[in-house]
């Protein structure tokens, strides 16, 4: 048997290629949309991908199940649990088998047994794997999807938070409690292969270790320590990170079937002379570093650095809004790949920064202030201080007079502030506040950015206070 682990750091997403060496066949579990990685590894190992399995309808990335089935002819194995509103609607066009609790299927000598594990979502299933080719008649591990993570479990409130299904969080939490009890009854030696690691918004406190065992999680996973259902429900619903707005879109897309990559329009290079005109009327994302954007930007554009695109594009971009990318040639392919992974497919074109700078003046954007300068502005009462951190960070302490506007929801709240008074943005260290500064600047505010953020303020010995209250929001670096 071959077990290959794939990890997409930008989305904290884990997927798996499981191959039977005797039959030269393989299955991919919970694939992402970028399927070339699976195809290449299978080819290297002399395997044919004949099956694709999904633990549930994913909310945080575009599934690659349809893409793989279309390109390889692989059979789809997907859940038939849960209400009709959350069943797969595109599978009729492909060879498939829908699964319920206790079902089994084989790929070569690999036996997969289905375990219904609702809670994160109603249709969630896990796969117990037995390698019969090696003579085993008992499972060696379990693919848990978004049910059990290393050090955590899947959040049960996504349908309510992301899809707007009121009242489903409490029901999901109680379903999850029962699923946990089934999990803890499994043999301790079973390996645990989850679909996410640290940084995912599908749960709280996820570990960064790729895999674990049932026994280890039973001993050390905080979410598995509850015998009382009410205590568990209170624990699991408290302090969950807020679901990014694109999660609701992903649920719909993955249920109905994402477009194939071959069906998408290919972004075109836009003539440099049109750059300024496009930026005035369309959404232009500058992929540069915050420092580069601050020094020179195309008027009308705003900044999401390439390395932060996966974390924040889903919050700030709409799936239907035409998007143009502004940056260096070397950035466009990766940026397009990242955006497509979260369902931002309407990428109209690329504006090359070097070419645009030859025909259009690129001007400085916002300004920077250090902690001492910010203190003087606060004393003078001449600024609007905007803290764009998460609620978890906000509750730990704030700069006096700060207003709390979580970055992911800032675009809807820009008009709350006085255009005639300067704005200063800050986060914990600076990068998120730089994105926020670009949004305020694009909206017409005189904008400043606190260099070094809240860290720098505290290191300078400045006063901090506890806020009176805060709304729940995710902790994201």
Domain count, the chain: 3
Assign 19 to helix, strand or coil. strand
54 touches 27 (CB < 8 A): no
Give dist(CA 443, CA 430) in Å, integer: 20
Question: Residue 321's domain is classified under what CATH number?
Answer: 3.40.250.10
Q: How far apart are the first and last CA of the chain?
A: 38
Give dist(CA 223, CA 227) in Å, integer: 10
Predicted local confidence at residue 205, as pLDDT: 66
- How many CA atoms lie within 13 Å of 430's alpha carbon, on the beta-carbon side? 16
- Do 414 and 274 lie in a common domain? no
224 touches 218 (CB < 8 A): yes
Q: Is residue 116 part of a domain?
A: yes
Predicted local confidence at residue 218, as pLDDT: 97
- Do 200 and 122 lie in a common domain? yes
Picking from 309, 328, 359, the residue at the C-terminal end of a domain is 359
Q: Which domain holds residue 351?
A: 264-359
**Which residues, 6+ apart, have CB-to-CB distance to 39 below 8 Å?**
49, 71, 72
Give dist(CA 36, CA 164) in Å, integer: 34
Give dist(CA 393, CA 453) in Å, integer: 12
Predicted local confidence at residue 167, as pLDDT: 66
- Do 249 and 380 lie in a common domain? no
Give dist(CA 150, CA 196) in Å, integer: 9
CA triple 341-342-347, angle to 5 deg: 80
- Do 102 and 44 lie in a common domain? yes
- Do 61 and 195 lie in a common domain? yes
- Do 232 and 312 lie in a common domain? no
145 touches 114 (CB < 8 A): no
The whole model's pTM is what? 0.89
CA distances from 25 to 20, 46, 51, 137, 324 (A): 6, 9, 8, 20, 41
Picking from 341, 359, 377, the residue at the C-terminal end of a domain is 359
Per-residue pLDDT of the chain (477 residues; tens, 9 = 90+): 999 999 998 888 999 999 999 999 999 999 999 999 999 999 999 999 999 999 999 988 999 999 999 999 999 999 999 988 889 999 999 999 999 999 999 999 999 999 999 999 999 999 999 999 878 899 999 999 999 999 999 988 776 665 566 668 889 899 999 999 999 999 999 999 999 886 666 666 677 788 999 999 999 999 999 999 999 999 998 877 767 778 888 889 999 999 999 999 899 999 999 999 999 999 999 999 999 999 999 999 999 999 999 989 999 998 889 999 999 999 999 999 999 999 999 999 999 999 999 999 999 999 999 999 999 999 998 899 999 998 888 989 999 999 999 999 999 999 999 999 999 999 999 999 999 999 999 999 999 999 999 999 999 999 999 998 533 333 333
Predicted local confidence at residue 248, as pLDDT: 80
Predicted local confidence at residue 85, as pLDDT: 81
Predicted local confidence at residue 329, as pLDDT: 93
Question: Residue 94's domain is classified under what CATH number?
Answer: 3.60.15.10
Q: Is residue 466 part of a domain?
A: no
- Do 9 and 143 lie in a common domain? yes
Angle between helices 309-316 and 329-341 (to 10 degrees): 60
249 touches 57 (CB < 8 A): no
Predicted local confidence at residue 199, as pLDDT: 67
Positive or negative torsion for Cα 191, 192, 195, 201: negative
- Do 320 and 371 lie in a common domain? no
Residue 45: which H helix or E strand, with range?
none
């Amino acid at each position: 048997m071959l077990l290959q682990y794939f990890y997409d750091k930008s989305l904290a997403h884990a997927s798996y290629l499981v191959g039977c060496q005797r039959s030269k066949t393989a299955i991919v579990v919970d694939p992402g949309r970028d399927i070339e990685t699976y195809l290449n590894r299978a080819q290297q190992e002399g395997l044919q991908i004949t099956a694709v399995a999904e633990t549930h309808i994913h909310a945080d990335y575009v599934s690659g199940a349809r893409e793989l089935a279309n390109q390889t002819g692989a059979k789809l194995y997907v859940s038939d649990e849960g209400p009709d509103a959350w069943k797969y609607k595109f599978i009729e066009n492909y060879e498939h088998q829908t699964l319920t609790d206790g079902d089994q299927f084989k790929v070569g000598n690999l036996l997969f047994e289905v375990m219904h594990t609702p809670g994160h979502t109603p249709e969630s299933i896990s796969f117990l794997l037995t390698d019969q080719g090696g003579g085993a008649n008992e499972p060696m591990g379990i693919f848990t999807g978004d049910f059990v993570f290393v050090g955590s479990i899947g959040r049960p409130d996504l349908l309510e938070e992301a899809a707007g299904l009121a009242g489903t969080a409490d029901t999901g939490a109680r379903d999850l409690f029962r699923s946990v009890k089934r999990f803890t009854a499994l043999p301790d030696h079973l390996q645990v292969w989850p679909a996410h690691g640290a940084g995912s918004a599908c749960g709280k406190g996820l570990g960064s270790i790729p895999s674990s065992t049932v026994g280890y999680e039973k001993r050390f996973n905080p979410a598995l320590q509850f015998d009382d259902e009410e205590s568990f429900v209170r624990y699991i619903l408290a302090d969950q990170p807020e679901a990014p707005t694109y999660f609701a879109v992903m649920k719909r897309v993955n249920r109905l079937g994402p477009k194939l990559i071959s069906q998408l329009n290919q972004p075109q290079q836009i003539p440099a002379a049109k750059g300024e005109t496009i930026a005035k009327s369309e959404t232009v994302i500058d992929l540069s570093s915050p420092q580069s954007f601050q020094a020179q930007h195309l008027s009308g554009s705003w900044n999401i650095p390439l390395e932060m695109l996966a974390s924040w594009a889903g919050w700030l971009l709409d799936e239907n809004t035409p998007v143009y990318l502004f940056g260096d040639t070397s950035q466009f392919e990766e940026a397009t790949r990242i955006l497509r992974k979260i369902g931002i497919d309407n990428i109209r074109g690329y504006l090359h920064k070097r070419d645009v700078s030859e025909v259009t003046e690129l001007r400085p954007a916002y300004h920077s202030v250090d902690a001492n300068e910010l203190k003087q502005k606060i004393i003078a009462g001449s600024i609007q201080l905007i803290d764009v951190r998460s609620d978890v960070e906000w509750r730990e302490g704030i700069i006096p007079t700060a207003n709390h506007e979580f970055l992911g929801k800032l675009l809807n709240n820009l008009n709350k502030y006085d255009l005639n008074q300067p704005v200063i943005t800050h986060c914990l260290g600076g990068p998120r506040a730089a994105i926020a500064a670009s949004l305020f600047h694009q909206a017409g505010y005189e904008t400043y950015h606190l260099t070094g953020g809240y860290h720098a303020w505290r290191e300078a010995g400045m006063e901090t206070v506890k806020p009176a209250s805060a709304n729940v929001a995710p902790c994201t670096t």
